[in-house]
């Protein structure tokens, strides 16, 4: 539509790569204004883990709206809020033996990160926060200070201070253990690194190239945080809510973070919502110290509660998700073998890394022309990123990867299988 180009700011991004004007969607399929069908391997950048307009979630929301259920509630007590909290405790926290308080920040991932940073500084009395190379945590000022991307950081004229950047696992090559490097710097009173209030880390770097941390490295990071009196904050905004195969990305890694940031898929329906989970002993907030008008999105509470009950309350969902994850890895491994690429990521959050950055862009563009909604990530946008709904049918997963294969063949040509699958090395704790 011409209005999108003439009325909107230059800051718009996704509609530049995907030129269609979309009208409706269901499951893993989107339909444009001409009726054209597109298979969705982006899923609202991970906010639609259960697909578009899932019928169970839609019915719960429509029933709530039809009975004039409370919409705008600030942080007043409400039946929708109570129902969500009850299910989150019963279905998510209690079965995993987790003891967290729930804070509802403003309904974005970035605001959740802001709350975590503020609380860490308040609880520890320290100001320095450690982020990691290729990390992405949002574009508001505090979250942006932790974000590594120079493209996003350039959007702020303000100084992005009180953050120390450390190398993520593997950033300096396989010969250097970055956890030991971090520990050495913090041990040295002359390293120039102030004692940190917290480490903020993604266990799969969603925008930074799908680097997936190993159990060994993450375990060492938790040890280092405890040794130096810092908190460990896991940003699970994109990697959480089942995206890596378990509800939380840290579950197979053997750690218990001090705080967890959740957003994107937590509402289940693409509605704005975020949660900060914090250990009870860290709750030193004064009433209203971090608030926001829209922190009580009742419609999101309704769909989030329905998603927890329908999916995570069903024992069969975990096995279905595991099967999807295995199929995703199998597809990625085959394509990596055939076309000389490298597999990145974990679970249903995987990608293919190109050494020729231009080829990655060309393959994405060809996929889009063939009706596949797909994105790239990484410091040079060199990773073709697969982020489909967790609930897509097996034949839809096969269809999507068939399109990727066609695009790879069109851009790179036919190649013979010459190596073992280049799959990411992931070892649970």
Judged against a pLDDT cut of 60, whether residue 357 lies above it is answered with yes
Over the stretch 25-77, which tens digit does the pLDDT of each residue have? Answer: 999 999 999 999 999 999 999 999 999 999 999 999 999 999 999 999 888 99
Going by C-alpha positions, the residue among 125, 123, 146, 162 that lies closest to residue 278 is 123
For residue 369, the domain's CATH number is: 3.90.1150.10
Clarify whether residues 329 and 292 are in a common domain: no
Clarify whether residues 191 and 155 are in a common domain: yes
Over the stretch 1-22, which tens digit does the pLDDT of each residue have? Answer: 555 667 887 777 677 777 788 8
What's the whole-number mean pLDDT along residues 287-304?
Answer: 92
Residue 417: what pLDDT?
Answer: 40
Residue 416 DSSP SS3: coil
Clarify whether residues 130 and 167 are in a common domain: yes
The residue out of 312, 334, 356 marking a domain boundary is 312
50, part of any domain: no
Out of 233-242, 310-319, 408-417, least confident range: 408-417
First to last CA, the chain: 50
Residue 226: how many other CB atoms lie within 10 Å: 12
For residue 245, the domain's CATH number is: 3.40.640.10
Over the stretch 179-202, which tens digit does the pLDDT of each residue have? Answer: 999 999 999 999 999 999 999 999
What's the whole-number mean pLDDT along residues 85-103?
Answer: 98
Torsion of CA 289, 108, 205, 177, to 10 degrees: 0
- Which helix (H) or strand (E) segment holds residue 198: the answer is strand 196-201
User: What's the structural domain count of the chain?
Assistant: 2
The pair phi, psi for residue 63, each rounded to 5°, is: -65, -40
What's the whole-number mean pLDDT along residues 208-231?
Answer: 97
d(CA 423, CA 142): 35
Clarify whether residues 188 and 335 are in a common domain: no
Clarify whether residues 265 and 390 are in a common domain: no
What's the whole-number mean pLDDT along residues 315-326?
Answer: 97
Tokens read off for 70: 């409370």
Residue 293: what pLDDT?
Answer: 87
Tokens read off for 330: 């199998």
What is the Cα 332 distance to its own chain's centre?
A: 19
Clarify whether residues 299 and 319 are in a common domain: no
- Distances, alpha carbon 193 to alpha carbons 126, 131, 188, in Å: 12, 12, 8
Clarify whether residues 300 and 335 are in a common domain: no
Clarify whether residues 180 and 271 are in a common domain: yes
Over the stretch 358-396, which tens digit does the pLDDT of each residue have? Answer: 999 999 999 999 999 999 999 999 999 999 999 999 999
* Burial class of residue 215 in the structure, from the number of CB atoms within 10 Å of its CB (0-12 exposed, 13-18 middle, 19+ buried): middle
Task: Please indicate whether residue 66 or residue 153 has the higher confidence score (pLDDT).
Answer: 66
The residue out of 280, 312, 344 marking a domain boundary is 312
Clarify whether residues 125 and 228 are in a common domain: yes
Clarify whether residues 125 and 257 are in a common domain: yes
Residue 114 DSSP SS3: helix
Going by C-alpha positions, the residue among 238, 234, 228, 294 that lies closest to residue 265 is 238
213, part of any domain: yes
167, part of any domain: yes
* Residue-range definition of the domain harbouring residue 357: 2-40+315-412
Clarify whether residues 332 and 232 are in a common domain: no
Residue 39: how many other CB atoms lie within 10 Å: 22
Percent of the chain whose predicted confidence (pLDDT) is above 70: 93
Going by C-alpha positions, the residue among 72, 150, 162 that lies closest to residue 120 is 162
Residue 424: what pLDDT?
Answer: 47
120, part of any domain: yes
The pair phi, psi for residue 276, each rounded to 5°, is: -110, 120
Mean pLDDT of the chain: 92
The residue out of 312, 328, 343 marking a domain boundary is 312
Task: Please indicate whether residue 147 or residue 50 has the higher confidence score (pLDDT).
Answer: 50
418, part of any domain: no
Clarify whether residues 231 and 366 are in a common domain: no
Going by C-alpha positions, the residue among 322, 349, 324, 350 that lies closest to residue 335 is 350
């Amino acid at each position: 539509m011409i209005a999108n180009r003439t009325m909107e700011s230059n800051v718009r991004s996704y509609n530049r790569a995907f030129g269609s004007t979309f009208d409706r969607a269901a499951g893993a399929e989107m339909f444009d204004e001409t009726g054209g069908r597109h298979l969705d391997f982006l899923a609202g950048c991970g906010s639609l883990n259960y697909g578009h307009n899932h019928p169970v979630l839609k019915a719960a929301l429509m029933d709530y709206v039809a009975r004039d259920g409370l919409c705008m509630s600030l942080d007043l007590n409400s039946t929708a809020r109570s129902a969500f909290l009850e299910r989150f405790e019963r279905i998510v926290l209690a079965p995993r033996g987790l003891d967290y308080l729930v804070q509802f920040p403003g309904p974005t991932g970035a605001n959740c990160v802001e709350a975590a940073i503020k609380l860490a500084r308040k609880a520890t009395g320290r100001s320095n926060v450690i982020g990691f190379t290729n990390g992405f945590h949002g574009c508001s000022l505090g979250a942006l200070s932790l974000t590594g991307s120079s493209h996003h950081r350039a959007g702020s004229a303000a100084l992005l201070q009180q953050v120390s950047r450390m190398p993520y696992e593997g950033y300096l090559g396989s010969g250097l253990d970055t956890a030991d490097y971090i520990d050495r710097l913090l041990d040295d009173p002359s390293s120039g690194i102030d004692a940190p209030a917290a480490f903020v880390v993604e266990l799969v770097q969603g925008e930074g190239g799908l680097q997936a941390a190993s159990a060994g490295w993450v375990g060492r990071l938790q040890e280092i945080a405890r040794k130096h009196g810092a908190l460990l904050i896991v940003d699970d905004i994109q990697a959480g809510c089942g995206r890596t195969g378990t509800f939380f990305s840290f579950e197979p890694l053997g750690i218990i973070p001090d705080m967890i940031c959740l957003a994107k898929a937590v509402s289940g329906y693409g509605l704005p919502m975020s949660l900060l989970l914090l250990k009870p002993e860290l709750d030193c907030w004064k009433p209203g110290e971090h608030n926001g008008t829209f922190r009580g999105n009742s419609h999101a509470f309704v769909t989030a509660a329905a998603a927890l009950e329908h999916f995570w309350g069903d024992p069969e969902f975990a096995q279905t998700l595991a099967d999807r994850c295995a199929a995703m890895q199998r597809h990625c491994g085959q394509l990596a073998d055939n076309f000389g690429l490298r597999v990145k990521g974990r679970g249903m959050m995987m990608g293919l890394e190109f050494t020729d950055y231009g080829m990655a862009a060309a393959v994405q563009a060809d996929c889009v022309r063939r009706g596949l909604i797909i994105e790239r990530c990484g410091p040079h946008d060199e990773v073709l990123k697969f982020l489909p709904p967790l609930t897509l049918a097996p034949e839809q997963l096969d269809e999507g990867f068939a399109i990727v294969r066609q695009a790879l063949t069109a851009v790179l040509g036919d190649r013979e299988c010459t190596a073992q699958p280049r799959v990411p090395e992931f070892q649970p704790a």
